[in-house]
Amino acid sequence: MKSLKLGTLFTNAQVYCPSIPFASAALVQNGHITWIGDSSGATVHTELADSVINCGGNFLAPAFVDAHVHATSTGLLLDGLNLTEVSNRHELLDLLSKYAKLHRGGTIIGHGWDQSNWNDQQLPSRREIDQATWGSVVYLSRIDVHSALVSSALLAQVPQSREQEGFTEFAVSAQAHGSLRAHALGHLSESQRDRSQTTFIQHALSRGIGSIHEMAGPSISSESDARMLAHRSNLNIGPRVFVYWGELSSDGGIETAMELEAVGAGGDLFIDGAIGSRSAALLSDYTDAPGVQGVLYVDPVQVASHVQDCVAAGIQAGFHVIGDRGMQTVLDGMTLAAETVGIQALARGRHRLEHAELISEDHMMLIKRLNLTASMQPLFDALWGGAHGMYASRLGERASSMNRWGSLLDQGSTVCFSSDCPVTEVNPWASVHASMFHHDIRERITARAAFSAHTRAGWRALGPAFDNHGTLEVGAVADLALWKADQFDVQVPDTRIAQWSTDPRSATMPLPYLGDADNFIGPECLLTMVGGDIRFINEIFDGIQ
């Protein structure tokens, strides 16, 4: 019998353990939680710990799972040219010019512009970008990462992009954008990738994230980029990394996924584009662009073939899908695949739908029937929802059917939350808050349901082998985070929720109070533990003895 090593004892904490609702202490040994109890019990277990952490009454909980990230691109944003705050083309060009002066001669990667928020939505021309950067290679992705502003120097390196769909003299989208993005990000130097990934993993740990699902692929990053990130995980220096490789089996996607030891041949395997870039595939025209219905990159037969091959290989399939025509395409393909492999075999795979933004009642029924997992981003609604948001301007009345995580959870489907960084910030508590205060009151969920979607559900999305992960219970893997919060509450989105749940006598576990619909109050991460190993300590925390 294997003996337990001395471990880490957490004391004086608000422990988020639903089975022991008034727990204040926990013991971690050999990477797992071996005991949970109160302060009196903690004194008995002190001899089993070589490290005692006085949590100071703060909140100890399972670490978050960010179920859809682009690590290198996010690190580039954190360290590089951030365009999220520019409000017109003049500000963009000024910021770009100043950045180019500091990086003269180097490739310029920037991200985050969103002209839908500009008073004057005129984009800078390619000539203006060339002039601002003295002819540098420039790739500036829109906030949704489905269109970009690029320089003539980058076009010269990918001349075929001029003949592809989506090429214009202003922003490029669709296939032209995919080719240019793949070239720009695929030709980062090893030192650039190393620096960007290091920045990202440190940032993720500081946000209480213990696991990430990296959405790699030939048009998103590169095989070497995915290998480098996975290697960091193996070195036990950051969050756990689970890689998805987004490439069709007909193009060798399954073989590459297996070489990368990826969870699935899916993730950002594009069915369509994005609403903001008007490339998400719709069943009818964009409200603000008559005649435009977006782009489909694959058809139902291709989807079916890919899913069948994934089932045969024993790995997950998954697709990036946003528009309702895109969703119809992927569900038609899934249905075709089920006719061949059997619905039970398909359902066992928990195949994934990344984003799943615009879905109908019929779509929801099929998602449930096929046991598909919806990987969703609450901050999308916070950024672009509402009567005057980007969704409404692009879609009109259809905007009310966007991001229906509440309805999916109500019908018993699995929904996991993520940031899709760098599209939105790495801030899980902000995502929890956004899901509680969806612009459509029908889609709001409780804080507890949202917290589960950003912790345990992220593990379930990986497959049945991980169903016992993501909890703070005896026997669970010790992926934990400690949070400083001034208030705690059993927070519910509105009066539809039974009032007994907020009564302390119900023994319902409280969570940090996150504010009301108009004001987000974010807890501060004090410590992050992955597999029993402390990988982040906030400089303000002095509770380790």
Tokens linked to 244: 């998805």
267, 215 Cβ separation under 8 angstroms: yes
Phi and psi at 416, nearest 5°, equal -115, 150
DSSP letter string over 166-215?
T--SSEEEHHHHHHHHHHHHHT--HHHHHHHHHHHHHHHHHTTEEEEEEE
Residue 505 has pLDDT above 60, yes or no: no
CA distances from 6 to 28, 29, 51, 235, 271 (A): 9, 6, 8, 22, 50
267 burial via Cβ count (<10 Å: 0-12, 13-18, 19+): buried
428, 389 Cβ separation under 8 angstroms: no
Question: Partners of 59 in the beta sheet?
Answer: 14, 483
Task: Look up the CATH superfamily of 7-63+471-485+522-537.
Answer: Urease, subunit C, domain 1 (2.30.40.10)
pLDDT recorded at residue 499 = 41
Phi and psi at 347, nearest 5°, equal -65, -30
Tokens linked to 307: 């899913």
Q: For residue range 155-208, what is the model confidence (pLDDT) as tens digits? A: 999 999 999 999 998 899 999 999 999 898 888 888 888 999 999 999 999 999
421, 141 Cβ separation under 8 angstroms: no
State the Cα–Cα distance between residues 175 and 171, nearest whole angstrom.
12
Q: For residue range 410-465, what is the model confidence (pLDDT) as tens digits? A: 999 999 999 999 999 999 999 999 999 999 999 999 999 999 999 999 999 999 99
Query: pTM for the complete prediction?
Result: 0.92
Helices 71-79 and 223-234 meet at what angle, rounded to 10? 90
**3.10.310.70, 3.30.420.40, 3.40.50.2000, 3.20.20.10: CATH of 71-186:** 3.10.310.70
State the Cα–Cα distance between residues 230 and 241, nearest whole angstrom.
6
Question: Where is 254: in which H helix or E strand?
Answer: helix 253-259
Q: Which residue intervals of 318-476 are DSSP H helices?
A: 324-341, 343-348, 361-369, 378-384, 390-395, 405-410, 428-436, 447-453, 456-460
Confidence of residue 507 (pLDDT cuts 50, 70, 90): low
State the Cα–Cα distance between residues 242 and 244, nearest whole angstrom.
7
Tokens linked to 133: 């950067």
State the Cα–Cα distance between residues 429 and 209, nearest whole angstrom.
11
> How many helices (H) and strands (E) in the chain?
19, 24
Instruction: Tell me how crowded residue 198 is: count the other CB atoms within 10 A of its CB.
Output: 16
322, 272 Cβ separation under 8 angstroms: yes
Closest CA to 379 of 443, 435, 324: 435
Tokens linked to 233: 């995980």
- Residue matched to tokens 């907020």: 502
pLDDT recorded at residue 191 = 86
pLDDT recorded at residue 211 = 98
- Residue matched to tokens 């410590």: 527
334, 299 Cβ separation under 8 angstroms: no
| 50-54, 78-82, 403-407, 513-517: least confident range | 78-82
- Residue matched to tokens 């508590």: 429
361, 338 Cβ separation under 8 angstroms: no
Cα dihedral 64→70→73→77 (10° resolution):
-30
Domain ranges of the chain: 7-63+471-485+522-537, 71-186
- Residue matched to tokens 């799972």: 65
Q: What is the mean pLDDT of residues 39-49?
A: 86
pLDDT recorded at residue 495 = 55
State the Cα–Cα distance between residues 258 and 346, nearest whole angstrom.
19
Residue 355 has pLDDT above 90, yes or no: yes
Residue 501 has pLDDT above 50, yes or no: no
